[in-house]
Amino acid sequence: MAEISESAVRRVLETVIDPTTGKSVIAAGMVSGIATRAGHVAITLDVDPARGATLEPLRQACEQAVRAMPEVLSATAVMTAERAAPPPPPTPRGGHGHSHDHGPRPGGSAGGQPGAKTTGGNSRIDVPGVKHIIAVASGKGGVGKSTTAVNLALGLAANGVATGLLDADIYGPSMPRMLGVKEKPESADGKMLKPIERHGLRTMSIGYIVAEDTPMIWRGPMVSSALEQMLRDVQWGELDVLVVDMPPGTGDAQLTLAQRVPLSGAVIVSTPQDIALIDARKGLAMFRKVAVPVLGIVENMSYFLCPKCGERSEIFGHGGAREEADKLGVPFLGEIPLHLDIRTTSDNGTPIVASQPDSAHAKAYKNIAGRVWKQLSAPQRGGRPAPKIVMS
Provide the binding-site residues for ligand ADP, judged by CB under 6 A.
138, 141-147, 174, 248, 300-301, 336, 338-339, 342-343, 346-347
What residues contact residue 1 under an 8 Å CB cut-off, 6+ apart?
38, 39, 71
Least distance CB 169 / ligand ADP (angstroms):
7
DSSP 190-257: SSSBPPEEETTEEEEEHHHHS-TTS-----HHHHHHHHHHHHHSB---SEEEEEEEPPSSSSHHHHHH
Task: Calculate the alpha carbon distances from 32 to 208, 291, 376 in Å.
Answer: 37, 10, 26
Whole-angstrom distance, CA of residue 88 vs CA of residue 101: 24
Residue from 49, 44, 40 nearest 79 by CA: 44
Which residues face 77 on adjacent strands? 43
Pairing of strands 130-137, 312-313: unpaired
Closest separation in Å from C-beta 202 to ligand ADP: 20
Residues 6+ apart with CB under 8 A from 271: 143, 144, 299, 300, 301, 302, 316
CA-to-CA distance for 20 and 56, rounded, in angstroms? 13
Which 3 state secondary structure label does DSSP give 322? Answer: helix
Contact in structure between 128 and 71 (CB atoms under 8 Å): no
CB 201 within 8 A of CB 165: yes
Cα 126–Cα 36–Cα 260 angle in degrees, nearest 5? 5
Neighbouring-strand partners of residue 266: 135, 294
Burial class (CB in 10 A: 0-12, 13-18, 19+), 308: exposed
Angle, CA 198 vertex, CA 216 and CA 159 arms, to 5°: 120
Helix then strand then coil, in percent of the chain rounded to 5, is 30, 20, 45
Nearer to ligand ADP, 248 or 387 (CB): 248
Nearer to ligand ADP, 159 or 300 (CB): 300
CA distance 339 to 301: 8
Cβ at position 361, least distance to ligand ADP in Å: 8
